[in-house]
Amino acid sequence: MDYSPYAPPQQPNYSAYGGGYPQQHFYKPLGWRTTVIMLGLVGTVLLGPLQTGASMAFPDALKNPAPENIGIILVLGLLGLVVGGVSIATWVLFLVWTNLAAKNVRALGQQGLEYTPGWCVAWWFIPVAYLWKPFLAMREIWKASDPDTVGSAASKPWTESPVPGTLLAWWLVYISNGFVTMGITIANLDFSGGKVTVTPGPANFISHGLLGVAAVFLIIIMRQLAQRQEAAWARLQSAPAPPAVDAGAYGYRQPGAYGEQRSTSNNPYL
């Protein structure tokens, strides 16, 4: 094939690296975001049992609302709004955190990644696939955040980085809690009085306990992952910059590739 000095610049071929990364990502520390989510997890774990205990203490107030119970109903309703608000806010922030962590590993220069930042979030909402895909995405982020796999002095590819047992433990407890909570909710259904209500019972504390264990594992994972990415970024920044190379001294220079004006001469070396 003849070389044309006026051909448009060729795009790099990233087919060997999972399709390439057309979007440029910039590193952003996970630090304060991790702290906020940790506080949200602690709040959810503490407020959940409190809400269940309060509902069990006044079962008739919710089943048979009466004027004398209006104060109790308002307190229980307010507590439910607080618990729900903290849980939803923490969940949303965690998804944002996951998306940012996935972008960071790309900013670190890692290649061959399977799960895009968008799909690291989207898999949480895909039926059936949410049973394992989010875990695989988090595992990939963990492996690609290994400081020993970053930069020109990397001692190994990121795919060979080990994964701690804490990550698998978190996911198994989290998934188990989902099934346990579903079973407890079905068991607590009350069809009396022509209405379908859910009456909390002692079994709900099993779900709260499992959620607490999963939260502890997740807090450990998030702290360690944030530290790994900070260490990887510091190592990347401390690496010596490659020497500047004048491309024009070694071959044809693509006209317009560096912003210069295209020459009207027929000489391809200008």
Concatenated DSSP letters of 172-191:
HHHHHHHHHHHHHHHHTEE-
As a whole number of angstroms, the distance between CA 104 and CA 147 comes to: 12
As a whole number of angstroms, the distance between CA 85 and CA 91 comes to: 10
What are the average pLDDT values for consecutive 10-residue runs of the chain, which has 270 residues? 38 36 78 96 95 84 70 85 95 97 94 95 96 97 95 88 96 96 86 72 92 97 96 86 54 44 44
Identify the pLDDT of residue 194. Answer: 64
Residue 106 in contact with residue 28, Cβ under 8 Å?
Answer: no
As a whole number of angstroms, the distance between CA 249 and CA 268 comes to: 13
- The two three-digit tokens of residue 160, written as one number: 């060979």
- How far, in whole angstroms, is CA 77 from its chain's centroid? 31
0.85 surpassed by pTM: no
Question: 6 in a domain, yes or no?
Answer: no
Question: 36 in a domain, yes or no?
Answer: yes
Identify the pLDDT of residue 14. Answer: 35
Question: 112 in a domain, yes or no?
Answer: yes
Identify the pLDDT of residue 21. Answer: 43
Question: 10 in a domain, yes or no?
Answer: no
Identify the pLDDT of residue 188. Answer: 80
Mention every residue, 6+ apart, whose C-beta is less than 8 A from residue 28: 100, 103, 104
Question: 265 in a domain, yes or no?
Answer: no
Measured at the CA of 121, the angle between CA 118 and CA 123, to 5 degrees, comes to 105
- The two three-digit tokens of residue 144, written as one number: 């690609």
Range of the domain at 189: 27-149+156-236
The number of distinct structural domains making up the chain is 1
Identify the pLDDT of residue 241. Answer: 62
Identify residue 4 by its one-letter amino acid code: S
Question: 250 in a domain, yes or no?
Answer: no
As a whole number of angstroms, the distance between CA 10 and CA 165 comes to: 44
Question: 18 in a domain, yes or no?
Answer: no
Location of structure tokens 């049992």: 49
Q: Give the length of the chain.
A: 270
Question: 214 in a domain, yes or no?
Answer: yes
